[in-house]
Chain A
């Protein structure tokens, strides 16, 4: 689904990302871990064509992302709060994204009704604009919005951060369900090693912009990762 060829990103003399090659097959649940500054967000931003690669290219479903925009209809993402429109209510935001993704109101309603548990009664019908919601609740809105319109690639940057324990557990289930559907490729980054090993079938560790580990998740994985980051 996603192929990376010789991608590098350099600011001045500092190379923040250098991935000679990486292949993410369709339907894989892909986890990205690494310390601050490892290049996780840089990689996701490159995938979404929000920054330009210094060299190399990324192919998303046969579309080179920095040349054509044809990847947009089947790709969705939630990176940070800049993906939210502060002056809309959550409902309006969902409908807006829905309209951009050719979903009518009924489609959107049907989808968000399946997330009522996840919202925990704090999102819908609250008479609040997104800017007035707490960080955690904003995140819930952004994550659910990225599921609108049956995307084939879903990119979530640190989806577990800022969420309360109940919601974290629910989110894990949601991502697992999504990954079981072999049509959807899910890319998740996280600082929480337990969550990411539970959710992802493959984990890539970035360190200072380079891939240092590429693991098919097994029962040993958590231990391996803890040794890597602990030692």
Chain B
């Protein structure tokens, strides 16, 4: 029986559409994966010495102190991205297997998920360093086991929590508030949680507790799944109550308004697009890495433009990148209706522009780091509106990955995700303004750098008509290929 399951899994992996992308991208992706593995390994090995050198105290204690945040972040990431194992169960339900075998298989599958073993890249080298630094071997091993058991507990917690937004969001918000309290020195939760993690090291038998917890969770999720394995139970898709909305105030924009209405509904009513908008809010805080001087590499003046473009362009990059894929599920309708490409594209363009302006206004708190830093953001926003907005729409014509609006679970590590292709297309959007800025900055003076970038943005804005005509032509040319690609769902 296991043989059959394994065989199915193998086929689903090798026959996935994402596996058929071309060789160059595959190689690039392997390099990217290797890069991240090396970075994590380096962190695992290096963090011990970095913490020690920084004089923060015993590295193990420091790691234990922040472990609670790490665990909750892990849970958050899983909740957002980890695919539920139930997806392919349906066709197996009526087969002559015992139900418990199917459940065991689907749960067992999650054990090998990337979300579990990625932590090993940090914790295994970290533990090895601990051993070489004279920590007691037995204590280190039990500590390691305890921590790993906790990550696996997260795995099963996540499975049971799936789609329970009302449990999940309050939990994460409480933790965010606690983190804020700690940052401001009002209240430090780690004072209470650190001893728990320390105990796994100090008390040799304490590691039994998380392992018991894990065992309990495994049984609980096994029973939960087995009980809910009915089409109208755990396998049912959730329906939300729909409310018709008119947005009549958009009618004054004519046909453009029609599309804007639709796009607003698209964003508000689909899981995937909501996640994207949340992601773009996170981009606003990206500038903190630069402004606060937390990362030394980012100190150079040219990098402030880099930050400016990201801070104001979160929505542009995360949403704009996937125009027209957002409409992939009904693209044939769009193509046979009485629709001008121009109006369709304009609507997306306006959304991007509005979001960029909002991000720029929201990021006004960067004035705290000096007006020059905020100026970089404003200049970045101008460039985003004037140049990058066209570039993303242009690039979108080539990204022919259909998007499943209703599911988040594929937003990561999948063909449809923020993948190498989209990353590659990002390069001209980022390198160009840096070069323009550097030219102005080093050839004339700093102010000239900002002016040069802003001017190129304004210039792009002036040539809006021409740019749209060109993009329209490309969309028309790619129409049939795009239609074909959107047909392939996996």
User: Is B116 an interface residue when CB atoms closer than 8 A count as contact?
Assistant: no
Q: Most B CB atoms within 10 A — which of A52, A80, A85, A102?
A: A85
- Asked if B333 and A72 make an inter-chain contact with CB atoms under 8 angstroms apart, the answer reads no
With both chains docked as a complex, state the minimum distance between the C-beta of B238 and any C-beta of chain A, in angstroms. Answer: 9
Q: Which residues of B contact A91 (CB under 8 A)?
A: 244
**CA A178 to CA B335, docked complex, whole Å:** 25
Q: Which residues of A contact B265 (CB under 8 A)?
A: 87-88, 92
Closest B residue to A77 by CB, please name it: B336
User: Is B266 an interface residue when CB atoms closer than 8 A count as contact?
Assistant: yes
Residues 269-297 of B, flagged 1 when their CB comes within 8 A of A and 0 if not, give: 11000000000000000000000000000
Question: Chain A's interface: helix, strand, loop or mixed, by majority?
Answer: loop
* Contact pick for B338, options A52, A72, A86, A132, CB 8 Å: A72
Closest B residue to A66 by CB, please name it: B480
- Asked if B269 and A129 make an inter-chain contact with CB atoms under 8 angstroms apart, the answer reads yes
**CA A14 to CA B366, docked complex, whole Å:** 62
Contact-residue size bin, chain B (C-beta under 8 Å from the other chain): 20 to 34
Q: Which residues of B contact A80 (CB under 8 A)?
A: 332
User: Is A176 an interface residue when CB atoms closer than 8 A count as contact?
Assistant: no
Task: Tell me the chain A residues, 92-108 only, with Cβ under 8 Å from chain B.
Answer: 92, 96-97, 99-102
Residues 117-128 of A, flagged 1 when their CB comes within 8 A of B and 0 if not, give: 000000000111
**CA A137 to CA B152, docked complex, whole Å:** 43
Q: Which residues of A contact B329 (CB under 8 A)?
A: 82, 85-86
Q: Which residues of B contact A51 (CB under 8 A)?
A: 480, 483-484
Task: Tell me the chain A residues, 22-56 only, with Cβ under 8 Å from chain B.
Answer: 48-52
- Asked if B332 and A79 make an inter-chain contact with CB atoms under 8 angstroms apart, the answer reads yes
Residues 377-415 of B, flagged 1 when their CB comes within 8 A of A and 0 if not, give: 000000000000000000000000000011000000000
Do A82 and B338 contact each other (CB < 8 Å), given the known contacts A52-B480, A92-B244, A99-B258? no
**CA A221 to CA B292, docked complex, whole Å:** 82
With both chains docked as a complex, state the minimum distance between the C-beta of B242 and any C-beta of chain A, in angstroms. Answer: 5
**CA A91 to CA B266, docked complex, whole Å:** 15
Closest B residue to A88 by CB, please name it: B265
Residues of B whose CB lies within 8 Å of any CB of A are 239-245, 255, 258, 261-262, 265-266, 269-270, 329-333, 335-339, 405-406, 480, 483-484, 486
Question: Could you list 22 A-B pairs, sorted by A, with CB under 8 Å?
Answer: A48-B332, A50-B336, A50-B483, A72-B336, A72-B339, A73-B338, A82-B333, A83-B330, A83-B333, A87-B266, A88-B265, A89-B242, A89-B244, A91-B244, A92-B245, A92-B265, A100-B258, A101-B337, A127-B241, A128-B239, A131-B406, A149-B338
Residues of A whose CB lies within 8 Å of any CB of B are 48-52, 72-73, 75-77, 79-80, 82-89, 91-92, 96-97, 99-102, 126-129, 131-132, 149
